[in-house]
């Protein structure tokens, strides 16, 4: 892998680890949907017990389903694919299109991974045709912490441990994309 | 709009469902357009067309739609709740408007957890008879806006809150003065002023495979001497391959330039039908039967007011008959056409603002 790309990846991974270290317990606690109390009756008690047993099995690897699968429906990537973050924050629209198109054409060399594009560029007509999961970072005027910063920390926690590459990796001819991030298996 | 201007106006968060089309986003844009200058609309969009919202002057965030995500409903709703919570805490909405068939649990939870002052549900009324009733009570909302069909005028079904319920007449995103005339629209599109043109807008190509029907109709119109212009939806995941001689057009909203065309071939979504009513372009409707709303019934309502043909166009005979019928009626003016009120979005905006101001 080219030294500069490796350094970029290392820097991104470090940056995302730092962001993920920021907790937002109030957000999680306030907006976490809790299961409703079970209605009374033998049927609902039995149904609840079955549900508890199923969730116990599902919590055990390898049967545990990914709570946030990143492979979209109607796309050829494996439904069980793990996320590979493609970092495109502060990138121009033209560079993003060229790089993503190139990455998309070479994605077969990254089996088991589905791309998650992290970007502040609103080019959704292009994204629709790309077929990738897009995590968008808009600026919204308002109060408190800048929205895009808070959301980025949230995403860093959501995708904690996922491999990441800069979108400009798509413009580089390097075999290292195949062996670098793909070698870091990610477990939720 | 400057930050200081934004902060002086009440914020209204508009959440539109979508995944396969832009109808719900169009509805929210129509509301936002009428709220402009009186409120600060901010979008939480499930439609992947954020730049269109931005181009119209509004801020927006995006979450992948449940239709596209492989996540379970439970997991997706958890994401929705957390992300809406972040938006609410940033923009501090005075009202949240949900436009869609089934208000998501994640939305209801986030709105309750934040303490959204006023919650509004905007919804179609013309659904298929076999559609299951949505298990969400209207009194979860301070206001329910029902999108009336062709013959609807503004009416109040239930005055008391929570759950004030109103029906609004049809509407479009643009005002009459925003539509270009025939020559101006042709000049903008680079079309010959003397040519004969048909516009095709059969949907985003994500839900219903339209290539077979579309190809047959293209051939029929071409053989009748028309140049075909094919509208490509901005959020299509794939583009229908077009025959030689067909001109692709990516423009949103199409309404602005619709009068450039002699005739129009389209699905019968709510917003498209309203746009036909406003532009008065003779239309062949090919209803999409794979969606929840009853497009066939709606298309027949529109055909009472403007020259229009309704046909599934699934066989060569149906297509040939439909094209022949459309071309036969296109110059006819309906002298007994009903007067159509297209101010539904104005009514919706007024209702939302009254809710904010009067509580």
Domain range annotation of chain A: 2-28+67-170
Among residues of chain B, what percentage have pLDDT more than 70?
Answer: 88
Contact A125, B51 (CB under 8 A): yes
Block residue for tokens 């907790």 = A23
B120 CB burial (10 A radius; 0-12, 13-18, 19+): buried
Query: Would the CB atoms of A74 and B105 count as touching at under 8 Å?
Result: no
Q: Is the confidence at residue B23, as pLDDT, over 90? A: no
Q: Is the confidence at residue A121, as pLDDT, over 60? A: yes
Nearest CB among A69, A128, A150 relative to B237 is that of A128
Contact B51, A123 (CB under 8 A): yes
Contact B277, B340 (CB under 8 A): yes
Angle in degrees, CA B49, A69, B66, rounded to 5: 45
Contact A87, A164 (CB under 8 A): yes
Q: Is the confidence at residue A12, as pLDDT, over 80? A: yes
d(CA B230, nearest CA chain A) in Å: 17
Contact B290, B271 (CB under 8 A): no
d(CA B328, nearest CA chain A) in Å: 37
Beta bridge partners of B199: B229, B264
Q: What local confidence, expressed as pLDDT, does residue B137 receive?
A: 80
Helix axes B295-303, B270-279, angle to 10 degrees: 10
Written as six digits, the tokens of B300 are 């027949």
Query: Would the CB atoms of A136 and B61 count as touching at under 8 Å?
Result: yes
The model's pLDDT over B124-146, given as tens digits with 9 standing for 90+, comes to 765 555 555 666 788 889 999 99
The model's pLDDT over B143-171, given as tens digits with 9 standing for 90+, comes to 999 998 877 899 999 998 778 999 999 99
Contact B99, B30 (CB under 8 A): no
The model's pTM: 0.86
Angle in degrees, CA B273, B276, B281, rounded to 5: 150
Q: What local confidence, expressed as pLDDT, does residue A187 receive?
A: 30
The model's pLDDT over A153-177, given as tens digits with 9 standing for 90+, comes to 999 999 999 999 999 988 876 555 5
Substitution target from B21, B50, B251 for chain A, most A beta carbons within 10 A: B50
Arithmetic mean of pLDDT over chain B:
88
The model's pLDDT over B209-265, given as tens digits with 9 standing for 90+, comes to 556 788 899 999 999 999 999 998 777 666 667 888 999 998 888 999 999 999 999
The model's pLDDT over B252-294, given as tens digits with 9 standing for 90+, comes to 889 999 999 999 999 998 889 999 999 999 999 999 877 767 8
Q: What local confidence, expressed as pLDDT, does residue A75 receive?
A: 75
Contact B77, B106 (CB under 8 A): yes
Q: What whole-number distance in Å separates Cα of residue B282 and Cα of residue B284?
A: 7
Backbone angles phi, psi at B274, to 5 degrees: -65, -40
Q: Is the confidence at residue B89, as pLDDT, over 50? A: yes
Across B302-320, average pLDDT: 93
Query: Would the CB atoms of B90 and A30 count as touching at under 8 Å?
Result: no
Q: Is the confidence at residue B352, as pLDDT, over 90? A: yes
Substitution target from B9, B71, B89 for chain A, most A beta carbons within 10 A: B89
Q: Is the confidence at residue A1, as pLDDT, over 60? A: no
Residue B24: which H helix or E strand, with range? helix B23-35
Backbone angles phi, psi at A56, to 5 degrees: -65, -45
d(CA A126, nearest CA chain B) in Å: 8
Written as six digits, the tokens of A36 are 């409703």
d(CA B183, nearest CA chain A) in Å: 29
Q: Is the confidence at residue B26, as pLDDT, over 80? A: yes
CATH fold, domain A2-28+67-170, is: Rossmann fold (3.40.50)
Written as six digits, the tokens of A130 are 């790309």
Substitution target from B72, B90, B112, B241 for chain A, most A beta carbons within 10 A: B90
Number of CB pairs < 8 Å for A and B? 124
d(CA B130, nearest CA chain A) in Å: 26
Q: What whole-number distance in Å separates Cα of residue B218 and Cα of residue A134?
A: 35
The model's pLDDT over B66-83, given as tens digits with 9 standing for 90+, comes to 988 999 999 999 999 999
Q: What whole-number distance in Å separates Cα of residue A136 and Cα of residue A126?
A: 14
Query: Would the CB atoms of A136 and B105 count as touching at under 8 Å?
Result: no
The model's pLDDT over A39-87, given as tens digits with 9 standing for 90+, comes to 778 888 888 888 888 877 766 655 556 679 898 987 777 888 999 999 9
| SS3 of chain A: helix, strand, coil, percent, to 5 | 45, 10, 40
B297 CB burial (10 A radius; 0-12, 13-18, 19+): middle
Biggest CA pair distance of chain B: 61
């Amino acid at each position: 892998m080219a030294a500069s790309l490796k350094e970029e990846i290392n820097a991104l991974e470090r940056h995302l680890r730092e962001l993920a270290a920021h907790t937002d317990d109030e957000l999680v606690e306030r907006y976490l949907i809790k299961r409703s109390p079970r209605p009374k009756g033998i049927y609902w008690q039995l149904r609840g017990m079955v549900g508890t047993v199923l969730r116990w099995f599902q919590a055990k690897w390898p049967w545990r389903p990914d709570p946030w699968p990143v492979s979209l429906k109607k796309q050829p990537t494996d439904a069980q694919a793990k996320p590979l973050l493609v970092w495109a924050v502060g990138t121009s629209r033209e560079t993003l299109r060229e790089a993503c198109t190139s990455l998309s054409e070479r994605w077969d060399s990254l089996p088991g991974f589905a791309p998650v594009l992290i970007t502040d560029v609103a080019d959704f007509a292009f994204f629709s045709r790309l077929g990738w999961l897009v995590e968008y970072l808009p600026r919204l005027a308002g109060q408190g912490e800048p929205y895009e910063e808070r959301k980025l920390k949230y995403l860093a926690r959501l995708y904690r441990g996922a491999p990441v590459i800069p979108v400009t990796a798509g413009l580089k001819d390097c075999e290292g994309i195949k062996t670098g991030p793909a070698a870091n298996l990610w477990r939720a | 709009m400057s930050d200081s201007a934004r902060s002086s106006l009440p914020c209204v968060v508009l959440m539109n469902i979508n995944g396969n089309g832009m109808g719900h986003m169009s509805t929210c844009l129509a509301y936002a357009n009428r709220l402009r200058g009186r409120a600060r609309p901010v979008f939480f969009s499930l439609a992947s067309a954020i730049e269109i919202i931005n181009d119209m002057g509004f801020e927006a965030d995006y979450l992948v739609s449940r239709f596209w995500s492989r996540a379970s409903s439970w997991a997706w709703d958890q994401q929705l709740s957390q992300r809406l919570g972040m938006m609410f805490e940033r923009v501090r909405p005075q009202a949240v408007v949900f436009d869609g068939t089934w208000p998501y649990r994640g939305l209801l939870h986030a709105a309750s957890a934040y303490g959204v002052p006023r919650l509004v549900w905007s919804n179609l009324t013309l659904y298929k008879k076999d559609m299951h009733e949505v298990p969400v009570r209207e009194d979860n909302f301070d206001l329910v806006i029902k999108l009336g069909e062709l013959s609807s005028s503004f009416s109040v079904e239930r005055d008391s809150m929570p759950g004030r319920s109103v029906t609004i007449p049809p509407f479009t995103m643009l005002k009459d003065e925003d539509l270009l005339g025939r020559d101006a629209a042709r000049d903008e599109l680079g079309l010959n002023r003397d040519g004969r043109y048909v516009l095709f807008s059969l949907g985003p190509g994500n839900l219903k495979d339209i290539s077979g029907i579309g190809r047959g109709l293209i051939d029929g119109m071409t053989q009748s001497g028309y140049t075909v212009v094919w509208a490509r939806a901005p959020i299509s995941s794939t583009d229908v391959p077009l025959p030689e001689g067909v001109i692709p057009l990516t423009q949103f909203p199409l309404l602005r330039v619709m009068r450039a065309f002699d005739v129009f071939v389209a699905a019968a979504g709510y917003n498209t039908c309203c746009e036909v009513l406003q532009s008065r372009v003779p239309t062949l409707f090919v209803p999409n039967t794979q969606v929840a709303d009853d497009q066939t019934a709606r298309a027949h309502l529109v055909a009472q007011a403007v020259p229009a043909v309704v046909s599934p166009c699934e066989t060569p005979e149906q297509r040939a008959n439909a094209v022949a019928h459309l071309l036969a009626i296109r110059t006819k003016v309906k002298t007994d056409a009903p007067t159509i009120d297209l101010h539904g979005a104005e009514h919706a905006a007024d209702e939302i603002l009254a809710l904010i101001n009067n509580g």
